[in-house]
């Protein structure tokens, strides 16, 4: 299993170059990374993050506070 994040704008378009090349060996590693990186991703134009396990979407989360 390879865990990755995909980053999107509110309209669903993919934000390229926002760290989407990172691969993680576990869900916990991926979630730890997003916990440290979400502010930079938001500043880079991403509104939400989509966690994927290989090609399967696990969940989608907003990068906005509140």
On whether the pTM is more than 0.85, the answer is yes
Q: What is the DSSP string of 1-66?
A: --EEEEEE-TTS-B-TTSSTT--BSSHHHHHHHHHHHHHHHHHTT--EEEEEETTEEEEEEE-S--
Q: Residue 20 has what pLDDT?
A: 62
Q: pLDDT tens digits for 11-59?
A: 999 988 666 678 999 999 999 999 999 999 999 999 999 999 998 999 9
Question: So where are the chain's domains?
Answer: 3-62
């Amino acid at each position: 299993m390879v865990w990755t994040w995909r980053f999107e704008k509110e309209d669903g378009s993919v934000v390229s170059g926002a760290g989407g090349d990172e691969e993680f060996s576990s869900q916990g590693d991926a979630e730890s990374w997003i916990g440290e990186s979400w502010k930079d991703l938001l500043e880079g134009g991403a509104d939400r993050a989509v966690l994927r396990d290989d090609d399967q979407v696990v969940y989608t989360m907003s990068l906005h506070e509140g």
